[in-house]
Amino acid sequence: MKRNISRKAEEAYLAETLRVVRDNVREYGQEVAKMQEDIDEMLEHYHDNDAEVLTILNNTVTMHTHMKRALERNEKALKKPYFGRIVFHDEALNKEESLYIGRGGIAKDTTHQMVTDWRAPVANAYYENGLGKCSYPVPDGQQMEIELLLKRTYEIEDAKLIDYYDSEVVANDELLTRYLAKNKKAVLGEIIATIQQEQNEIIRKSPYHSMIVQGVAGSGKTTVAMHRISYILYNYEERFQPEDFYIVGSNRILLDYITGVLPDLDVYGIRQMTMEQLFVRLLYEDWDETYRICPVRDAGKDGAVRGTLAWFEKLQKFCSRVEWNTIPRTTVLFNRKQFVEGLRDGRVGVFDESGGKNDPKDMVVLMTGEAIERYIRQNPSVSAQSKVLMLQERLMGKVEDEFLGKGISYTLEEKKAIRRSMRKRFGARQWKKSVYEMYHDFLTEQKQQGVCVEEPQEELDVYDLAALAYLYRRMRETEVISEAHHIVVDEAQDFGVMVYAVLKECVRSCTYTVMGDVSQNIRMDYGISDWEGVKNILLTGERDNFCVLRKSYRNTVEIANFASDILAHGEFPGYGAEPVIRHGEAVGIRQTAGRDLYREAAKICKGWQTDGFDTIAVICRDQKQAQETAELLQKELPVMPWDPEKASFEKGIMVFPVEYTKGLEFDAVLLLSPDRESYPTDDGHAKLLYVAATRALHRLELLHTGNLTGLIADPIPKKNKKRVSGAKKKVVIVQNPSGGQEVPLPYGTGAMQESADARRAGGKTQGSARPAAAAPRPTSAGAGWTSRPKPVISGQPQKALHPLASLYGSNSQTAQGSGRAVGSRQSAQAAGRTVNGTVQPRVTGDMHAYTASGVLSFGELPDTAKLRAAGHAKIDHSIRWVQRKEDGLYLQSRYGVTRLSPVGSGILRVTFSRGEMPPVHPAIAVTRVEKNWQMREKPTLVEMRTPEMYVVADKKTGALRFLDKDSEILLEESGQDRCLIENAPNGGRSRLFFDWKKGEGLYAAGALGKGGIHLEKTARCISHGVENELPYLISDRGYGILLASSKEVIFCSLPVYGNQICLEGTQQPDYYIIVGKKLETLLKACAYLCGKL
């Protein structure tokens, strides 16, 4: 194959690519404009809550957003469409391929890709592999074998090919220094082109595992984290969405700075927050807004205690002790003859006949103390309040079992009295103390034990907030809210180990990318001085990783060595930085009279601006000095004012306290007044001054009025000199090829590269010459996956059943089930969820005498307003995580949680909730959960089996498919909108969407002696207006649906409104799927559920 590697061929390909890009820009621009016109027109005519128009509108807005971003990607490619190229022989296809690699994919048409996105799996060969036989991984774990024949990097400016380079190492010294010869703003676009092999390995590691990255100042760790998010979203889009990520930083300025690069990486909608804001979020509705948040720097001396793992362990023991002492653990006895309905003193009622005495022969053991203690001990991860609710639910189940027993028959009023006596046996539905009261108790206890800690009054720091979040999670939580699935923490060394222990407990089913440098821990006595404690908490999986980035690309050698000398005055171990690439001017140290300090500072800054530096920082010791300095410098030249709430990273002269410069970098830095008072000679201040010095890309000056800090003025201790000199020997130096003034290093380049002599296999070429092929790299095969064969579906409709005359007689005795008040957490905003739709339905039709007021009667036609779903944004029912619990299988989506609870071998309870799960309906007599069931999770499916039923959940859509034990399909949920929750009067509304088969016979059972109805392409009310008679839908395919609702229930099979069951008055749809090939089986199973057998 002719590889077209000549300059003429390269220029021709560039011209063709640019033509395609221009065509795309024109076409995408026209599409964006047309879609905008359509959106405007629909908005103009959308006045009557038309669901169809709203759906089209939402779809158009989504398409418009995607098309607009595609337009932006192509517009950015007009000046430089790609930066690299690989030519390889595909072993599987046995042919040679040539791919150009850019920051975004560019397609000529649906089958012809001109440029491949840098995030694509095959692009890994460009960053990581040498020439010769190698492989690249794909997301499913497999390795694709190739032979890499050519690796080429392009220098393209303003759509013109300047040069190109063939080498085994992409960003060799000469090429990288060419990038560094540009100003800071210009090189931001070159970050992707200069990613190094070690960085690339971190970026492309699986998101299903956690990692900690120790990176020295200027090593590119922040940039690696941002590119890692972009890579994950591109390659794992079915599992991760932007809202699944949190970026956590130490202050708002840093967060604004680091997330500014995300739109250029085609990433939008990532949530960012400080660590304090994250813990406030995890408090949900328990957060008290009367408190103020103080930054971590104000944690005080007791932060050294409160930031430790030992402090967290004390808090754990405190919670366990409170739980143990609060939840009753004694055996629960029930006196069968205690409550008796009768007549006393002329009054009818239920009376306590025990007289305070319990005859042993009348006593029944409902729950033993041993069973209660065993449950508490075996569920350490469940909150105390959830334990109370679960124990109470179990107890009420035992009470219901007692009612069903053959020993004694209880009247309805006696049952109510018994339930009242038992319903708070283990405690109230809400924990009696707030998190703030419990935190006060904990701190008081610690003081009594001799631990000196200050109790917060009006302000809370990060360690207070972490403790409160844990108290909420451990004691008061009643539902698990899905938070992030991957959290990126930058400048992680600023937070003590206690913070990570709380995060691990509070945000479950989450992986982490933790970036930091222990040498930059400026939190004095707290924060992280080594990674061992965090490793033990976050890196618990076999494939979790700890990575080190030692090469520093930010500073000149002179600045890097100066900063290294500062650290050498400390007595702490660290990870030595290895500066590379370039020399620059020596660090300047100037002394001036106090009255001339700010005038001299202004003079230095003006000189740097004349030299062409765009970003200049004057770094002060604290906020007070920064405020004063900004005000005085503004008299001499334009300076951005210092305000911690409004300050941002911008072009010009900025004034910052040193602690706010973490993670930032500037063309030139002026350290103001680094005297002995501000920076004493100790470990904490050595790290602080090191951070300040390493912010400078190119120029560093110190201006003082005398008494220069000993961290600079004093000689390095002899015992530390060897350590410093050893680090300096590792410096890789390449003179600036331009021969002119040095200019800033690219933001976050962080290139990981060894000496050119050690790693380059070939030099720059202009023709077909290329480096010698490298030895083949060893590869490991991905783990295989053994899946169960897909079930054979052969379900043919059975003969239609005759319409039902009646299901129950009017004289049937009913049994009450466990009744509990439904609680709901008011935390939609905290959980990142919204309630869609606000359409208010109209109620029409004559009410029959026996129906509840304001609802339809059985068999009545509903108003079409009740059939039309409210307008809503796209709902994400995709399954995020799966968990097996004692009461069933839990499937979590962003929209809510679906619980599948086997009640019997052929009966399955299906419940959906966006808060706490609802209690068993009072008309349901069976509260037990079948134990004989299995589940299995696959990459795309979740399976559940009982002896008579097989359920499959599609992870992508969340839709359920119900099959019988022979794997014949009975019923399927709609894959588009399986469930919709709406706001409506009297408790809301729920819609369940099913895919009923053509020709399927469906019947609604009657009640109270009334006949049933046949349902075919119709809409009817199938509820009875009686609390103890539940709607029951029966299919001739061998299943029934019992709706656990006493309020209005509407069946609809009209195509215009969709196949649905609408439940009024609830936002927690709850129903039972009953499997049976015979009608008699379905009827008996329903009667059993309702206590009628």
What is the band of 721 on the pLDDT scale with cuts at 50, 70, 90? low
Sequence-ordered list of residues with C-beta below 8 angstroms from that of 604, at least 6 positions apart, any chain = 590, 670, 701, 703
Range with top average pLDDT, 45-54, 646-655, 835-844: 646-655
Instruction: Find out if CATH 3.30.420.40 is the number for domain 555-737.
Output: no
Helix (H, G, I), strand (E, B) or coil at 14: helix
Who wins on pLDDT, 569 or 829? 569
DSSP codes joined into one string, 127-196: HHPPSEEEEEE-TTS-EEEEEEEEEEEEEEETTEEEEEEE-SSTT-HHHHHHHHTS-HHHHGGGTGGG--
Q: pLDDT band for position 309 (50/70/90)?
A: very high
Give per-residue pLDDT as tens, 786-802. 333 333 323 333 333 33
Residue of 665, 659, 655 whose CA lies nearest to 632:
655
Please list the residue range(s) of the chain that carry CATH number 3.40.50.300: 555-737
Single out the residue of 584, 582, 567, 565 nearest to residue 669, CA to CA.
584
Average pLDDT in the 524-530 region?
Answer: 78
- Taking CB atoms within 8 Å and a gap of at least 24, the contacts of 947-955 are 947/905, 947/906, 948/905, 948/906, 948/1075, 949/902, 949/905, 949/906, 949/908, 949/1073, 949/1075, 950/791, 951/900, 951/908, 953/879, 953/891, 953/898, 955/878, 955/879
> Which of residues 741 and 573 earns the better pLDDT score?
573
Reading the block at residue 50, the tokens are 């038309």
The Cα 102–Cα 126 span in angstroms is: 11
Please indicate whether residue 852 or residue 579 has the higher confidence score (pLDDT).
Answer: 579
Of 145 and 781, more confident: 145
Q: Which residue has the higher pLDDT, 689 or 357?
A: 689
| Other residues' Cβ atoms within 10 Å of the Cβ of residue 109 | 8
Report the distance separating Cα 889 and Cα 826, nearest Å: 25
Contact 193, 171 (CB under 8 A): yes
Q: Report the percent of the chain where pLDDT is more than 70.
A: 82
Q: Does pLDDT of 684 surpass 80?
A: yes
Sign of CA dihedral 490, 496, 497, 500: negative
Find the range with the poorest average confidence among 98-107, 139-148, 221-230, 558-567.
Answer: 139-148
**pLDDT tens digits, 70-103:** 898 899 899 999 999 999 998 888 889 999 999 9
Specify the 3-state DSSP secondary structure of 487. Answer: strand
Measured between alpha carbons, how far is 144 from 926 in angstroms, rounded to an integer?
A: 55
CB 964 within 8 A of CB 950: yes
Report which of residues 406 and 349 the model is more confident about: 349
Tell me the one-letter amino acid at 703.
L
What does the alpha-carbon distance between residue 669 and residue 665 come to, in Å, rounded to a whole number?
A: 9
What gap in Å lies between CA 414 and CA 336, rounded to an integer?
A: 10
User: pLDDT for 132-149, tens place per residue?
Assistant: 898 888 766 788 889 999
Q: Is the pLDDT of residue 451 over 90?
A: no
CA-to-CA distance for 607 and 609, rounded, in angstroms?
Answer: 5
Residue ranges, comma separated, of all CATH 2.60.40.1760 domains in the chain are 864-1089
The strand pair at 888-892 and 897-904 is best described as: antiparallel
Q: What's residue 795's pLDDT?
A: 35
DSSP SS3 for 574: coil
Contact 979, 1069 (CB under 8 A): yes
Q: What value does the mean pLDDT of the chain take? A: 81
Task: Summarize the confidence of residues 359-380 as an average pLDDT.
Answer: 88
Q: Lowest mean pLDDT: which of 32-46, 337-351, 537-551, 785-799?
A: 785-799
Give the confidence band of 843 by pLDDT, cuts at 50, 70, 90: very low
- Nearest CA to 126 among 171, 157, 77? 171
Give the confidence band of 178 by pLDDT, cuts at 50, 70, 90.
low
Where does the pLDDT of residue 303 fall: very low under 50, low under 70, confident under 90, or very high at 90 and above? low
Cβ burial, residue 31 (10 Å; 0-12/13-18/19+): middle
808 has a pLDDT exceeding 70: no
Instruction: Say what the pLDDT of residue 1039 is.
Output: 95
How far is the C-alpha of 505 from the C-alpha of 449, rounded, in Å? Answer: 26
CB contact burial 706-728 (16+ within 10 A = b; e otherwise): eebbbbbeeebeeeeeebbeebe
Closest by CA to 547, choosing from 693, 750, 332, is 750
The residue with greater pLDDT, 428 or 597, is: 597
Token pair belonging to 48: 């009557």
The span from the CA of 552 to the CA of 246, in Å, is: 27
Mean pLDDT calculated for residue range 1072-1086: 91
pLDDT at 179: 57
Rounded Cα gap, residues 487 and 506, in angstroms: 12
Residue 643 carries which side chain, given as an amino acid letter? D
Cα–Cα distance for residue pair 580/709, rounded to 1 Å: 28
Whole-number Å distance between alpha carbons of 18 and 34: 24
What band does 753 get if pLDDT is binned at 50, 70 and 90?
A: very low
SS3 for 442?
helix
Lowest mean pLDDT of 89-93, 663-667, 800-804, 811-815, name the range.
811-815
pLDDT of residue 1008: 60
pLDDT value at residue 780: 34
Exposure string over 142-168, b if 16+ CB within 10 A, otherwise e? eebebbbbbbbbbbbeebeeeebbbbb
Tell whether the model's pLDDT for residue 784 goes beyond 90: no
CA 663, CA 370: separation in Å to the nearest integer? 55
Q: What is the pLDDT of residues 993-1007, one digit of tens each?
A: 999 988 899 999 987
Instruction: Give the model's pLDDT for residue 916.
Output: 86
- Quickly name the fold that domain 864-1089 has: Immunoglobulin-like (2.60.40)
Structure tokens at 705: 């009025």
pLDDT digits (tens, 9 = 90+) for 7-26: 999 999 999 999 999 999 99
Q: Residue 176 — very low, low, confident or very high, per pLDDT cuts 50/70/90?
A: low
- The share of the chain scoring above pLDDT 90, in percent, equals 41
